[in-house]
Chain A
Amino acid sequence: MENDKPLRKSRDQHELEQLIQRRRENFKDKVKLAIAFASGIALFGIVFTMLDRTSTLGPLDMSIWIHRILVVCVYIAVFYFFLKISYKYFDRIFFKYKTNTWDLMYRRFKRNNAASVGLLIILTLAILAIFADLLSPYPDPGNNENYDPDYTLKHLEEAPSKTHILGTTRNGKDMLSVLIHGSRVSLALGLSVQATASIIGITIGSIAAYYSGWVDKILNVINDIVMAFPFLLFIIVLVSILREVYIAVRIPFTEIVLIDTPTLFSMWNGLAMVFLALALLGWSGTYRVVRGQILSVKEMEFVEAAKAVGASDRRIIFHHILPNVISPIIVLVTLGIAGVILTEAALSYLGFGAAEGAVSWGRAIYEGREYATTSRAFMVFFPGLAIVISILGFNSFGDGLRDALDPRMKR
Chain B
Amino acid sequence: MREYVLKKIGLMFVVLIGVYTIVFLLCIAAPGDPARLAMGRADNPEARAILREKWGLNEPLYVQYYTTLKSLVTLDFPRSFRYREDVGDLVAARLPRTIFLGVIAIGVSVLIAVPAGVVSAYKHNSIIDNITMVASQIGVATPNFWLGLMLIVVFYTKLGWFEIGAPDALLSLEGFSKVTLPAITLGTGMAAVTARLTRSSMLGVIREEYIMTARAKGLTEKVVILKHAFRNALLPVVTVVGLQFPLIVGGAVLTEVVFGWHGLGQLYISSIAARDYPVIVTTTLLFAFGVVLINLIVDLLYSVIDPRVKYERVST
A→B interface (CB under 8 Å)? 114, 216-217, 220-222, 224-225, 227-233, 236-238, 240-241, 244-246, 338, 342, 345-346, 349-350, 365, 369, 372-373, 377, 380-381, 384, 387-389, 391-392, 395-396, 411
Contacts and interface: CB of A to CB of B under 8 A. Distances in A.
Interface residues of B, number: 52
Contacts of B145: 345-346, 349, 365
A225 to B, nearest CB: 4
Given A346-B145, A387-B143, A388-B142, A245 B31 contact: yes
Nearest to A396: B137
B254 A373 contact: no
A350 B146 contact: no
B287 interface: yes
Interface in B20-34: 22-23, 26, 29-32
A241 B152 CA distance: 32
Contact of A229 (B137, B251, B288, B295): B288
A338 B292 CA distance: 26
Interface string B252-269: 011001000000000011
B141 interface: yes
A244 B23 CA distance: 17
17 contacts: A217-B316, A222-B18, A224-B15, A224-B18, A228-B19, A228-B292, A233-B250, A233-B268, A233-B287, A237-B272, A244-B30, A244-B32, A365-B149, A384-B143, A384-B149, A388-B141, A395-B137
Top 4 nearest A-B pairs (CB, nearest first) are A232-B250, A384-B146, A225-B18, A391-B141
Interface in B124-159: 137-138, 140-146, 149-150, 152-153, 156-157
Contacts of B146: 345, 365, 380, 384, 387-388
B200 interface: yes
A244 B157 CA distance: 38
Contacts of A114: 137
B30 A373 contact: no
Contacts of A395: 137, 140-141
Contacts of B138: 388, 392
Contact of B15 (A216, A221, A387): A221
A230 B285 CA distance: 10
B203 interface: yes
Contacts of A349: 145, 254
B165 interface: no
Contact of B11 (A222, A224, A229): A224
Interface string B31-56: 11000000000000000000000000
Nearest to B124: A411
Nearest to A366: B145
B20 to A, nearest CB: 10
Contact of B269 (A230, A238, A345, A350): A350
A201 B43 CA distance: 47
Interface of B: 11, 14-16, 18-19, 22-23, 26, 29-32, 137-138, 140-146, 149-150, 152-153, 156-157, 196, 199-200, 203, 246-247, 249-251, 253-254, 257, 268-269, 272-273, 280, 284, 287-288, 291-292, 295, 316
Contacts, number: 142
Contacts of A246: 31
Given A229-B22, A395-B141, A350 B15 contact: no
Contacts of A229: 19, 22, 246, 284, 287-288
A365 B150 CA distance: 11
A381 B150 contact: yes
B153 A372 contact: yes
Binding site of B, secondary structure by majority: helix, strand, loop or mixed? helix
Contacts of B11: 221, 224
A71 to B, nearest CB: 31
B141 A220 contact: no
Contacts of A411: 196, 199-200, 203
A373 B141 contact: no
A117 to B, nearest CB: 10
A230 B264 CA distance: 13
B29 A241 contact: yes
Contact of B137 (A222, A369, A387, A392): A392
A245 B257 CA distance: 26
Contacts of B152: 372-373
B272 A240 contact: yes
A350 B31 CA distance: 20
A113 B254 CA distance: 34
Contact of A233 (B16, B200, B249, B295): B249
A253 B72 CA distance: 44
Contact of B157 (A228, A338, A373): A373
B184 to A, nearest CB: 16
Contacts of A230: 246-247, 249-250, 253, 284, 287-288, 291
A392 B141 CA distance: 5
Contacts of A338: 141
A388 B150 CA distance: 13
A230 B14 CA distance: 17
Nearest to A343: B250
Nearest to B157: A373
Contacts of B257: 350
B216 to A, nearest CB: 26
A231 B137 contact: no
A372 B148 CA distance: 10
Contacts of A217: 316
A372 B143 contact: no
A244 B31 contact: yes
